[in-house]
Amino acid sequence: MDLIYAIFSPTLMSQIFVGLSRTVILFIVASGLSLILGVLRIPNIWHGSLYMVGAFMTFTISGAFGGGSVGFWIALILAPLGVALVSLIAERSFFQHLYEREHLMLLLLTFAFSLVFGDLVKMVWGMQYKSVPVPQIFQGSVHLFGGLPFPLYNVFLLAIGPIVAVALWLIVNKTKIGKISRAAAVDREMVGAVGINVSWVFAFVFMIGCLLAGLGGALVAPTVNVSLGMDHTLIMEAFLIVIIGGLGNIWGALLGALIFGLAQSLGILIWPQFGIVFPYAAVIIVLLLRPTGLLKSTW
């Protein structure tokens, strides 16, 4: 009995749940990245910047509407849409001209965009940390696990995660455009040959992927200091998650995010100073065993 209590100790469970809420954010961003990588074959480094822009825009929009709960909800809708719009413009103006060239060029172009946007964010919002207040309904904590508090907002995140996952799955598998995108991921010439405008399919997919980045940023905003540099660490983690999950595979992104998020929180529990190394080590172990990712990739 004691052993069971020790294994399922409050601290452990609490840490696991914290890890899971982090997983949700990682999953949302990584799924967008995976989508773009799978269908358009672009390793989108710009993704990190868009995540950061989503967070900053949430700050501004929620502030513009009074800084309270209402402001947050509006921001949660508008920020991702704003990011989506920007990404669409970028894709139509710049990216689409490079599809015929080597992947390296596309990767470098997304890097160029991330450099430019890194400075743009600095210009518009300055160098100081920004805070986004948690909406009133979610303020406070719920007392699970032997009395340890667990923030209500994190519960909200845990609920949002599956909703986004299911919505994404529906779009990709049940809608017409989703099916076309999957076909284009495998054989873009064939899709073009049957008369579908592949170019607009790509634009759509790119937009959805970037929207997810913006959504991730908006959702994470109340939980962290919104600051410059959030793009750099996140994009690295998102890429690793996509790689271990399987390129282009949304469920893979979920699995990868789970491994990453849980490895991180458990790691910190076991070895506080180096806990943060655990997810990276986990990634390497996975890649040594299954170099192409845990689930099937679209490549």
The site for another protein (CB under 8 A) is made up of 43, 45, 94, 97-98, 101, 103-105, 108-109, 111-116, 118-120, 122-123, 127, 232, 236, 239-240, 243, 247, 273-274, 276-277, 280-281, 283-284, 287-288, 291-292, 299
The nearest distance, CB 122 to another protein, in angstroms, is: 6
Q: Which residue's CB is nearer to another protein, number 29 or number 134? A: 29
At 114, which helix (H) or strand (E)? helix 103-125
Contact predicate 36/209, CB 8 Å: yes
Q: Which residue's CB is nearer to another protein, number 2 or number 102? A: 102
The nearest distance, CB 204 to another protein, in angstroms, is: 23
> What is the distance between the terminal CA atoms of the chain, rounded to a whole angstrom?
49
The nearest distance, CB 119 to another protein, in angstroms, is: 4
The nearest distance, CB 46 to another protein, in angstroms, is: 10
Q: What percent of the residues of the chain are helix, what percent strand, and what percent coil, each to the nearest 5? A: 80, 5, 20
Separation CA 186–CA 205 (nearest Å): 14
Separation CA 70–CA 66 (nearest Å): 8
Q: Which residue's CB is nearer to another protein, number 116 or number 159? A: 116
The nearest distance, CB 146 to another protein, in angstroms, is: 30
Q: Which residue's CB is nearer to another protein, number 36 or number 240? A: 240
At 73, which helix (H) or strand (E)? helix 69-93
Separation CA 209–CA 205 (nearest Å): 6
Q: Which residue's CB is nearer to another protein, number 122 or number 143? A: 122
Separation CA 118–CA 5 (nearest Å): 47
